[in-house]
Homo-oligomer: A and B are copies of this chain.
Amino acid sequence: MLSIGELSRATDCKVETIRYYEKIGLMPEPARSAGNQRRYGERHRDRLHFIRHSRQLGFSIEAIRELLSLADHDHQDCAAVDALTRHHRQEVEARIRSLAALRDELDRMLRDCAGGDIAHCGVIQTLADHGRCDSEHI
C-alpha cells in the first residue's frame, strides 16, 4: 500500500491535487491507516495515471470524468470515446489557429516598431487602435 506521498511521487501529481481529485469525486476514497492516513493500491495508481495523462493532453476534468466512466464499461463500443477525443482535438486545433494569428499580429507590431520615442512606437499605437491591425485574431 502506498501513502499519499508515495502515490504523489509515483504519478508526478502533487499531494494536494490528489486530495482535490478525491474531494471532487474523480478519485475514489482510499483505505485508511490506523492513524487515519490514506493508503492506496494499484488501482488507485492506475486511475491517477490515467487522469494525469488526460490532463496533460488538455482534457477537462469533466471530460475525464466521462472518459473514466466509459473506460469502466469495457463492453460498450468505443465510439463515444472516439467522439470525445475528436471533439477535443478540434478545440485544440482551433486554439492553435487562434494563437498563430496572435503571434503573426505581434510580429507585425514588432516590425512596425522602429525604435525611438514611445510616441511613435508601433506596438503602442497598434494596441491603442485596433483598426490598424488585421483582425483575424478575434
Contacts and interface: CB of A to CB of B under 8 A. Distances in A.
Q: How large is the interface on A (under 10, 10 to 19, 20 to 34, 35 or more residues)?
A: 35 or more
A96 B93 contact: no
User: Which of A50, A105, A121 has the largest count of B CB atoms less than 10 A from its CB?
Assistant: A121
Interface string A93-112: 10110011011011101100
A123 to B, nearest CB: 5
A74 B47 CA distance: 56
A35 interface: no
Nearest to A11: B130
Contacts of A93: 103
Given A89-B103, A130-B49, A71 B124 contact: yes
A86 interface: yes
Interface stretch (A14-22, A23-31, A76-84): A76-84
Contacts of A58: 99, 102
B96 A100 contact: yes
A138 interface: yes
Given A89-B103, A99-B92, A100-B96, A77 B115 contact: yes
